[in-house]
Amino acid sequence: MPLHVRGSTPPAHDLTRREPQELGIGDAVARHGAAGGLLLASGLPMRAASLLPFAVLLLLADCGSKQDLIIGELLLKGQAGAAAGASGGSAGTEPTAGTLPTSGASGSGGASGGTSEAGGAPDAGAAGAAGSAGSPEENCVEGSEPPPGSLLHRYSFDGTGATAIDTISVADGNGNIIGTTLDGSGLVAMDGMPDEYVDLPNGIISALTDVTVITWTTWIDGAAYARVFDFGVATHGEGLVNGDAGLSYMAVMPKTGFDNQLKPGLGGEMKAPGFPTVTLASTLDMSHRFGQVAFVFKGGVSASLYFNGKLLASQPTAMTPANIMDVNNWIGRSQYYGNPAYHGSYDEFRIYSAALDGCQVRTVNMRGPQSL
* 59: number of Cβ within 10 Å: 17
The residue ranges of every structural domain in the chain are 22-61, 151-367
Indicate the residue type of 328.
Answer: N
Query: pTM for the complete prediction?
Result: 0.67
Output the pLDDT for position 81: 39
- At 205-226, the pLDDT tens digits run 999 999 999 999 999 999 999 9
Output the pLDDT for position 302: 98
- 214 forms beta bridges with 294, 350
Alpha helices in 252-307 (DSSP H): none
Residue 99: pLDDT band by 50, 70, 90 thresholds?
A: very low
Half-sphere exposure of 319 (CA within 13 A, CB side): 27
Helices (H) and strands (E) in the chain, counts: 3, 19
Say what the alpha-carbon torsion angle 201, 317, 151, 229 is, to the nearest 10 degrees.
50
How far, CA to CA in Å, does 360 sit from each of 21, 85, 113, 318? 85, 38, 42, 23
Residue 321: pLDDT band by 50, 70, 90 thresholds?
A: very high
CA 21 to chain centre: 73
Indicate the residue type of 62.
Answer: D
Half-sphere exposure of 324 (CA within 13 A, CB side): 34
The answer to whether 351 and 206 have CB atoms below 8 angstroms apart is no
Residue range 290-308: mean pLDDT, rounded = 98
Output the pLDDT for position 170: 78
Output the pLDDT for position 159: 96
Domain 151-367 part of CATH 3.20.20.140: no
Residue 106 predicted with pLDDT over 50:
no
Residue range 338-360: mean pLDDT, rounded = 98
Among candidates 125, 124, 130, 122, which has minimal Cα distance to 106?
130
Output the pLDDT for position 129: 47
Question: Residues near 140 by Cβ (< 8 Å), separated by ≥ 6?
Answer: 358, 359, 362, 363
State how far the Cα of 157 lies from the Cα of 346, in Å rounded to an integer: 8
Residue 65 predicted with pLDDT over 70:
no
Output the pLDDT for position 101: 42
State how far the Cα of 258 lies from the Cα of 292, in Å rounded to an integer: 21
Q: E-assigned strands of 45-150?
A: 46-47
Output the pLDDT for position 29: 32
